[in-house]
A and B are shown apart, each in its own frame.
Chain A
Amino acid sequence: MSESKVFIILQHNEDARPFAEAFEQENPEAVFKYDQPGMIRIENIGELKITEEVVSELAGRDVDLQELHLVLVSLSGCVDEDDDYFKVSWN
């Protein structure tokens, strides 16, 4: 895995909460920053990944991972997504 940093910035709101919590749970090394108003910045070395299962569990309903589009502010890295996971990484 690459040594470079990837990041995802989400809106800091209720719709983003299950996604942010899933990033926290599924990427224990990830760093969360709240220093810019309105946003959550999630950084990690190499990759950040979430699964549909965990996000749905945290939301308490079936979540379509593409709902991420509603709360995404920015990201850096190559995106790989399917029905059951979403991943950003540097190769």
Chain B
Amino acid sequence: MAKKLNMRKRYELLTRGLGWEPTYQPKEKVFPQESYEGIKIVDWDKWEDPFRLTAEAYWKYQAEKDKKLYAIIDSFAQNNGHLNLTNASYINALKIFIQGVSPLEYGAHRGFANLARQFSGEGAQIACQMQSIDELRHVQTQIHTLSHYNKHFTGLHDPFHMHDRVWYLSVPKSYFDDARSAGPFEFMTSISFAFEYILTNLLFVPFMSGAAHNGDMATVTFGFSAQSDESRHMTLGLEIIKFIVEQHEDNLEIVQGWIDKHFWRAYRVLGLVSAMQDYMLPDSPMSWKEAWDIYFVDNCGALFKDLGRYGLRMPKFHEQATEESEHLSHQIYTVLYQFSHAAAFQTEVPSKEKMDWLSEKYPNTFDKYYRPRWEMYAQMEKEGKRYFNAGLPQVCQTCQVPMCFTDISKGNPMELSYRVSEFNGDKFHTCSDGCKSIFDHEPEKYAHAWIPPHQIFQGNCGGAEMPDVLKYYHFNEDDSGEYKGSADDNSWKAAHHNSNDDNDIKESA
């Protein structure tokens, strides 16, 4: 029997020598997107995937991951695992996940399929094909896992329809659309490097740990299953950046510009995650600030130290992101709280225990700036005046987050931050130096952004009244508003009431 080939040889056979030089058409026409961004690739053969997976190994391990996951999903459903959560309010985090994140997985699937077609290097084609299939697996496993929750809780019934229309979901959607409407090298820098390498740990690791902490075995399992692919994607993202920069000296400045831009874009999307982590998990294992320090400050510090020899530096405005880390979740969750009558999730004033936890985790900011606000909202609720903001928010032209951020980097945490740019005689507002700098670099792109409040005012979202808009979003009546007394809260209490019935009767007797 022939001796089994070693790993390097197997990878080489899979990724080299299968391409050809076209003769019927010039190469630029066969790969029309490869050169217009200004990136120069001299030798595609220098492309090396650090994980040298062959097709055989890939299918074998992916099948094994799926088998494990589906066994757990089945058992979770058969044993009514949803009843073992810490609290049904936890499901609100899952709603944002499936509405906001799962469609991004699908966007990544499409984006990488396109890259597999557009790159002429065979190593890159194979890597992009595998990643495209991974991303499709992620969106499918997320839908399958969360469909069990959809049988019992609100807001989970039509995430893809919502993703393309709803105001808070335009934050993640516009980021991915931004990357997908760029050229292949920019898409790759954005998704594989800025998102997957620099920031994805902040999404998955604390979120899955949070799921584990709150009794959500199903989400932990799909999260870990996806994350095992993510570590492969991250590693690839890093290699790609090095590959591009090593290919030609002209590439460095272009790539650095993309890293700056997409770091800030992806960071703004993660603002939603900060709110989920600090406020929407009944039991949080780690604060946003702690996760930021570990996964951004420490980890990316080490990463960019390593990338320094290629001439790359930390992304622009990273200091501002770090300065904001003690404020971010509080500011974002306040917006979600004020506008949850128009959202497919419910919010509530943090409990006393939660506020004490926030004071402990945010000693410099929570008691000083944010606790008084929550106490005021709690008081209003007590007086029967639960606060909902009746207007439509102005949102940032770049990141599309409502203008809720304050000027922390300028030393004014009490003052709303906004920047103004002019383009073709119109004024455009952005939320920060980071978003303004992105807008000013490509104003012709961002001037066209589909801004939800503008679209509502223009009559493009189902009608002039709030109920029309909510219908256009495919929201059901029970999806929105205050958590306390919501359909989810009531059914949760009803399901957990039986065991306490005897006590209740005795007490009332």
Residues of A in contact with B (beta carbons under 8 Å apart): 2, 4-7, 9, 11, 35-39, 64, 66-67, 69-83, 90-91
Q: How far is the CB of B376 from chain A (nearest CB, A)?
A: 34
Q: How far is the CB of B407 from chain A (nearest CB, A)?
A: 32
B180-215: CB near A (< 8 Å → 1, else 0) gives: 000000000000000000000100111011001100
Q: Which 9 A-B pairs have CB atoms at the shortest separation, nearest pair first?
A: A4-B302, A37-B212, A79-B50, A38-B212, A36-B209, A72-B231, A90-B306, A79-B235, A69-B61
B30-58: CB near A (< 8 Å → 1, else 0) gives: 00000000000000000000111100010
Residue pairs across A and B with CB atoms within 8 Å: the count is 98
A20 to B51, CA, bound (A): 19
Q: Which residue of A lies closest to B201 (CB)?
A: A74
Q: How far is the CB of B489 from chain A (nearest CB, A)?
A: 25
Please tell me if B298 contacts chain A, counting CB pairs below 8 Å: yes
Binds A, one of B220-228, B246-254, B334-342, B420-428: B220-228
B133-152: CB near A (< 8 Å → 1, else 0) gives: 00000000000000000000
Q: How far is the CB of A44 from chain B (nearest CB, A)?
A: 12
B299 contact from A39, A76, A91, Cβ within 8 A: A76
The number of chain B residues touching the other chain, given as a range, is 35 or more
Residues of chain B from 376 to 405 with CB closer than 8 A to chain A in the complex: none
Residues in A with CB closer than 8 Å to B50 are: 78-81
Are B65 and A36 interface neighbours, CB within 8 A? no
Residues of chain B from 2 to 23 with CB closer than 8 A to chain A in the complex: 6-8
Please tell me if B238 contacts chain A, counting CB pairs below 8 Å: yes
Are B230 and A74 interface neighbours, CB within 8 A? yes
Residues in A with CB closer than 8 Å to B57 are: 64, 66
Residues in A with CB closer than 8 Å to B8 are: 82
Are B302 and A76 interface neighbours, CB within 8 A? yes
Q: Taking each of B6, B61, B65, B306, which has the highest tally of chain A beta carbons within 10 Å of its own beta carbon?
A: B306
Residues of B in contact with A (beta carbons under 8 Å apart): 6-8, 50-53, 57, 61, 64-65, 68, 201, 204-206, 208-209, 212-213, 220, 224, 227-228, 230-232, 234-235, 238-239, 285-286, 298-299, 301-303, 305-306, 309
Residues in A with CB closer than 8 Å to B64 are: 70
Q: Which residue of A lies closest to B304 (CB)?
A: A4
A70 to B224, CA, bound (A): 9
Residues in A with CB closer than 8 Å to B51 are: 66, 69, 79, 81
B285 contact from A6, A36, A77, Cβ within 8 A: A36
Q: Which residue of A lies closest to B291 (CB)?
A: A36
Q: How far is the CB of A72 from chain B (nearest CB, A)?
A: 5
Residues in B with CB closer than 8 Å to A77 are: 302
Q: How far is the CB of B262 from chain A (nearest CB, A)?
A: 19
Are A74 and B205 interface neighbours, CB within 8 A? yes
A-B contact pairs, 5 of them (CB 8 A): A4-B305, A36-B205, A37-B212, A72-B228, A82-B7
Are B286 and A69 interface neighbours, CB within 8 A? no
Residues in A with CB closer than 8 Å to B303 are: 76
A39 to B305, CA, bound (A): 27
Residues in B with CB closer than 8 Å to A72 are: 227-228, 231-232
A70 to B44, CA, bound (A): 30
A46 to B285, CA, bound (A): 28
A90 to B204, CA, bound (A): 23
Q: A4-B302, A66-B57, A82-B6 are in contact. Are A73 and B213 (CB under 8 A)?
A: no
Residues in A with CB closer than 8 Å to B231 are: 72-75
Are B208 and A69 interface neighbours, CB within 8 A? no
Are B228 and A4 interface neighbours, CB within 8 A? no
Residues in B with CB closer than 8 Å to A91 are: 306, 309
Q: Which residue of B lies closest to A13 (CB)?
A: B224
A90 to B238, CA, bound (A): 12
Are B6 and A83 interface neighbours, CB within 8 A? yes
Are A69 and B232 interface neighbours, CB within 8 A? yes
